[in-house]
């Protein structure tokens, strides 16, 4: 479903060119749970941005669900993100002035879904991630684990092809981390494709497949 | 459509959640709109006032003015010659005479003496509340009689009923004049307050350091259609028969006066409106400033929205609607307050007239300001790169 072929991406930082991704090729099939592990500065964030269509590669080919990403316009990228990708960020990235339901509704709103219908969907997914009864809470009234659950519900609500989770447990304590990881595993068992990016080997191990990234290069299946 | 509705809701919510900031932003615009409504309202109030005064003279009236330094004069005896001019119905010479008006030990300081003819009273629509009008006999006899305005009557004959004042006498420059009539109160018109005026027969002015030469004259025409031709005939008469050079006199119709006056007051309105417009622009800059700060502050929000699928246009619309709402709301409050203050000013005697035109213009310009000054911040927001936006805290 995801095909990366010879992806290159470099940045100019203080006059020096840094190769963040060096000829990366990578495939993900439907229903997989892949974790990409690497230390900071390894290029995993860049890979995540490119996979999530927040950034475009300098060269190489990225095919997501039969769509060639290189040719897509800014608006087209927004549309694909909206329909095919669910983001789960390390710092949750919820809209602070909106309650749980409204946060989950955001991707549905940009899809042009009717308000009543999107509320219904939002309630459903909040219940699914175990937040029944907390629908009207603002992010500030929720614990870190609960906020991440809202973020997961938001990612799921759009019924995406893949969930991109960028250090989803990075800001959580070990108990809630475990709960969030269990939730992700459950979702994967239901058939949800998940790509998880982390620097924590214990988190990475919980995926079915592990890919290591270092200095912009991918190494399949080698666990440190 | 469904999406736009939701985006508008988000904008409204944001305005409401930042109450203090939103109201301070609007304040600039509110003040701007209030000043537009008030200044233009007062300007057009003045215009309406002036034009209605000019119109009260009737459109079929010509005003002849001869400079007192002219090389020749128009005498009272020559009035008949003007009356013979085609289409002239009546003539009314008038002259302001200086003199002290007193009765016993009371001296009126405000009294202005007007020497004129019975025709003047009909052209100016002056009526009496008691006594009689001027008559031609008064003019022929150089009678020392007078008609007085209501305020003047009150100040000289304090407490006396007006009908009892008729027949009494007063002194002008020490000479006795019999009061034959009291003028109906009419207030001030064209700079003359009829209520403090004392009217004497035109010919009687010769006793009061006045000559009988005429410098001001109203001419009423029989048929308004030919007023321009009559104007030319009178001009010809004055310049050729009286041999007064054209530099020294003017013959103007009320229409041309009306034009001049409304020109002046339109310029005034425009000027006032322009000044108010500047304050509107300043208000608009305030809106832009706040919107720019708001975009910077909400960079992260924009990043999240973009990551979740917001297109450039969605972000643009969200911020544009926000500034538009702020401005339209500010405009509405401004119009309301402006009209309210205008009404209060009216009770203090200001001529304030706000037309529906100015109300519509105010609304439209506040909406326009919302778009013009909101588009740049909104565009800036829409151009944000989601990665950079997500990275900020």
Judge if B171 and B42 occupy the same domain.
Answer: no
Judge if B41 and B118 occupy the same domain.
Answer: no
Backbone dihedral angles phi then psi of residue A129, each to the nearest 5 degrees: -90, 10
Q: Residue for token digits 């800059």?
A: B285
Assigned domain for B66 exists: no
- Burial tier of A131 (Cβ tally within 10 Å: 0-12, 13-18, 19+): buried
The verdict on a CB contact (< 8 Å) between B305 and A110 is yes
User: What residues of B are in contact with residue A111 (Cβ under 8 Å)?
Assistant: 3, 309
The pLDDT tens digits of the residues spanning B67-119 come to: 878 778 888 888 888 888 888 888 999 888 888 888 888 888 778 899 999 98
Final residue of a structural domain among B243, B278, B303: B243
First CA to last CA distance, chain B = 32
Largest CA distance in chain B: 103
- Tell me which of A28-37, B228-237, B246-255, B273-282 is least confident: B246-255
- Residue B103, token pair as written in the block: 């009765």
Residues 278-307 of B with CB under 8 A from A: 300-301, 303-307
Nearest by Cα to B125 from B58, B212, B217: B58
Radius of gyration of chain A (CA): 17
Residue B193's CB: how many other CB atoms inside 10 A?
15
Question: Is the pLDDT assigned to residue B189 strictly greater than 70?
Answer: no
Assigned domain for B180 exists: yes
3-state secondary structure of B356: helix
> Considering CB atoms only, which of A74, A106, A114 is closest to B305?
A106
Final residue of a structural domain among B216, B243, B270: B243
Contact B331, B367 (CB under 8 A): yes
> What is chain A's pLDDT, residue by residue, as a tens digit (224 residues)?
899 999 999 988 888 898 999 999 999 999 999 999 999 888 888 999 999 999 889 999 999 988 888 878 889 999 999 999 999 999 999 999 999 999 999 999 999 999 999 999 999 999 999 999 999 999 999 999 999 999 999 999 989 999 999 999 988 899 999 999 999 999 999 999 999 999 999 999 999 899 999 999 998 865 54
Question: A186 versus B54: which is more confidently predicted?
Answer: A186
Buried b (16+ CB within 10 A) or exposed e, B45-61: bbbbebbeebeebeebb
Question: Is the pLDDT assigned to residue B158 strictly greater than 80?
Answer: yes
Assigned domain for B58 exists: no
Return the pLDDT at B191: 61
Assigned domain for B249 exists: no
Assigned domain for B63 exists: no
Return the pLDDT at B266: 79
Q: How far is A78 from chain B (nearest CA, A)?
A: 5
CA B273 to chain centroid: 14
Radius of gyration of chain B (CA): 33
Judge if B78 and B126 occupy the same domain.
Answer: yes
CA A158 to chain centroid: 13
Best mutation target among B309, B389, B392 (most A Cβ atoms within 10 Å) is B309
User: What residues of B are in contact with residue A154 (Cβ under 8 Å)?
Assistant: 308
By residue range, what is the domain housing residue B372? 2-52+259-391
The pLDDT tens digits of the residues spanning B223-242 come to: 888 888 888 888 888 888 88
Q: How far is B305 from chain A (nearest CA, A)?
A: 8
DSSP for B111-154?
-EEEEE-HHHHHHTT--EEEE----HHHHHTT--EEEE-HHHHH
Return the pLDDT at A88: 94
Question: Is the pLDDT assigned to residue B125 strictly greater than 90?
Answer: no
Assigned domain for B236 exists: yes
Return the pLDDT at A223: 52
Mean pLDDT for the stretch of residues B50-63 = 75
Judge if B103 and B144 occupy the same domain.
Answer: yes
Long-range contacts of B136-141 (CB under 8 A, 24+ apart): B138/B201, B138/B204, B139/B201, B139/B202, B139/B203, B139/B204, B140/B203
- Tell me which of A185-199, B244-258, B273-287, B333-347 is least confident: B244-258
Question: Is the pLDDT assigned to residue B255 strictly greater than 80?
Answer: no
Judge if B102 and B184 occupy the same domain.
Answer: yes
Return the pLDDT at B239: 87
- Burial tier of B71 (Cβ tally within 10 Å: 0-12, 13-18, 19+): exposed
Measured distance CA(B260)–CA(B88) in Å, rounded: 24
Q: Residue for token digits 């209520």?
A: B195
Measured distance CA(B348)–CA(B351) in Å, rounded: 9
Q: Residue for token digits 């002035």?
A: A97
Return the pLDDT at A144: 92
Is the sign of the CA dihedral B377, B382, B384, B390 positive or negative?
Answer: positive
Is the sign of the CA dihedral A186, A189, A194, A196 positive or negative?
Answer: positive
E strands within chain A? Answer: 2-13, 16-28, 33-37, 59-64, 67-68, 85-88, 162-166, 193-198, 209-214, 217-220
Judge if B162 and B217 occupy the same domain.
Answer: yes
Judge if B350 and B227 occupy the same domain.
Answer: no
Nearest by Cα to A92 from B149, B300, B113: B300
Judge if B202 and B280 occupy the same domain.
Answer: no
CA A50 to chain centroid: 11
DSSP for A175-213?
HHHHHHHHHHHHHHHTT-EEEEEES-HHHHTTSSEEEEE
Return the pLDDT at B297: 92
Strands B175-183 and B145-148, by their bridges, are: parallel
Final residue of a structural domain among B208, B243, B278: B243
* HEC-encoded secondary structure of B161-190: CHHHHCCCEEEECCEEEEEEEEECCCCEEC
Judge if B90 and B147 occupy the same domain.
Answer: yes
Share of chain B above pLDDT 90, in %: 32
Number of domains forming the structure of chain B: 2
3-state secondary structure of A220: strand
Assigned domain for B274 exists: yes
> Considering CB atoms only, which of B17, B309, B387 is closest to A55?
B387
The pLDDT tens digits of the residues spanning A161-201 come to: 999 999 999 888 999 999 999 999 999 999 999 999 999 99
3-state secondary structure of A163: strand
Mean pLDDT for the stretch of residues B158-176 = 86
Measured distance CA(B5)–CA(B344) in Å, rounded: 40
User: What residues of B are in contact with residue A97 (Cβ under 8 Å)?
Assistant: 13-14, 17
Helix axis angle for B254-297 and B356-382, nearest 10°, is: 30
Q: Tell whether B312 lies on the interface with A, counting CB pairs under 8 A.
A: yes
Return the pLDDT at B58: 66
Return the pLDDT at B349: 80
Return the pLDDT at B57: 65
- Burial tier of B330 (Cβ tally within 10 Å: 0-12, 13-18, 19+): buried
Judge if B161 and B96 occupy the same domain.
Answer: yes
Assigned domain for B269 exists: yes
Judge if B234 and B108 occupy the same domain.
Answer: yes
Mean pLDDT for the stretch of residues B239-258 = 83
Judge if B110 and B238 occupy the same domain.
Answer: yes
CA B100 to chain centroid: 33
Mean pLDDT for the stretch of residues B113-127 = 87
């Amino acid at each position: 479903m995801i095909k990366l072929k010879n992806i290159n991406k470099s940045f100019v930082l203080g006059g020096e060119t840094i190769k963040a991704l060096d000829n990366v090729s990578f495939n993900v099939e439907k229903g997989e749970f892949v974790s990409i592990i690497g230390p900071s500065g390894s290029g995993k964030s860049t890979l995540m941005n490119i996979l999530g269509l927040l950034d475009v590669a300098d060269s190489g080919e990225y095919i997501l669900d039969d769509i060639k990403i290189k040719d897509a316009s800014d608006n087209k990228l927004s549309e694909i993100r909206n329909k095919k990708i669910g983001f789960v960020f390390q710092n949750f990235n919820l809209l602070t002035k909106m309650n749980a339901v409204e946060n989950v509704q955001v991707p549905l709103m940009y899809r042009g879904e009717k308000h009543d219908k999107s509320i219904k969907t939002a309630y459903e997914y909040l219940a699914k991630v175990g937040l029944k009864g907390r629908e009207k809470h603002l992010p500030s009234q929720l614990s870190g684990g609960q906020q991440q659950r809202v973020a997961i519900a938001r990612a799921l609500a759009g019924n995406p092809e893949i969930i991109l989770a960028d250090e989803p447990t990075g800001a959580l304590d070990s108990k809630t981390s475990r709960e969030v990881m269990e939730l992700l595993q459950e979702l994967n068992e239901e058939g949800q494709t998940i790509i998880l990016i982390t620097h924590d080997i214990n988190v990475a191990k919980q995926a079915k497949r592990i890919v290591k990234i270092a200095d912009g290069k991918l190494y399949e299946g080698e666990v440190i | 459509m469904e999406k736009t509705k939701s985006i508008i809701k988000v904008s409204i919510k944001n305005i409401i959640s930042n109450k203090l900031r939103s109201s301070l932003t609007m304040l600039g615009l509110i003040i701007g709109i209030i000043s537009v409504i008030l200044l233009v309202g007062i300007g057009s109030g003045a215009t309406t006032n002036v034009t209605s005064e000019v119109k009260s003279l009737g459109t079929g009236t010509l005003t002849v003015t001869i400079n007192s330094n002219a090389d020749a004069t128009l005498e009272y005896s020559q009035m008949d010659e003007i009356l013979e001019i085609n289409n002239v119905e009546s003539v009314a010479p008038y002259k302001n005479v200086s003199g002290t008006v007193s009765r016993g030990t009371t001296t009126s300081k405000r009294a202005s003496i007007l020497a004129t003819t019975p025709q003047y009273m009909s052209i100016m629509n002056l009526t009496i509340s008691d006594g009689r009008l001027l008559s031609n006999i008064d003019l022929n006899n150089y009678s020392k009689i007078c008609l007085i305005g209501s305020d003047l009557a009150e100040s000289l004959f304090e407490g006396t009923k007006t009908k009892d004042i008729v027949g009494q006498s007063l002194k002008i420059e020490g000479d006795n004049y019999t009061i034959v009539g009291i003028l109906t109160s009419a207030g001030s018109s064209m700079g003359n307050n009829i209520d403090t005026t004392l009217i004497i027969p035109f010919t009687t002015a010769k006793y009061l350091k006045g000559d009988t030469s005429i410098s001001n004259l109203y001419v009423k025409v029989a048929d308004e259609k030919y007023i321009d031709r009559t104007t030319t005939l009178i001009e010809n008469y004055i310049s050729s028969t009286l041999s007064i050079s054209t530099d020294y006199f003017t013959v103007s119709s009320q229409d041309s006066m009306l034009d001049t006056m409304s020109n002046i007051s339109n310029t005034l309105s425009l000027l006032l409106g322009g000044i108010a417009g500047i304050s509107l622009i300043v208000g608009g800059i305030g809106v832009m400033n706040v919107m720019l700060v708001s975009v910077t502050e909400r960079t992260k929000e924009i990043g999240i929205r973009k990551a979740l699928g917001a297109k450039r246009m969605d972000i643009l619309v969200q911020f544009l609607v926000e500034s538009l709402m702020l401005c339209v709301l500010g405009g509405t409050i401004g119009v309301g307050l402006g009209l309210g203050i205008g009404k209060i000013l009216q009770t203090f005697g200001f001529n304030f007239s706000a037309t529906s035109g100015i109300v519509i213009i105010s609304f439209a310009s506040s909406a326009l300001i919302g778009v013009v000054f909101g588009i740049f911040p909104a565009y800036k927001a829409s151009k944000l790169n989601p990665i950079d936006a997500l990275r900020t805290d």
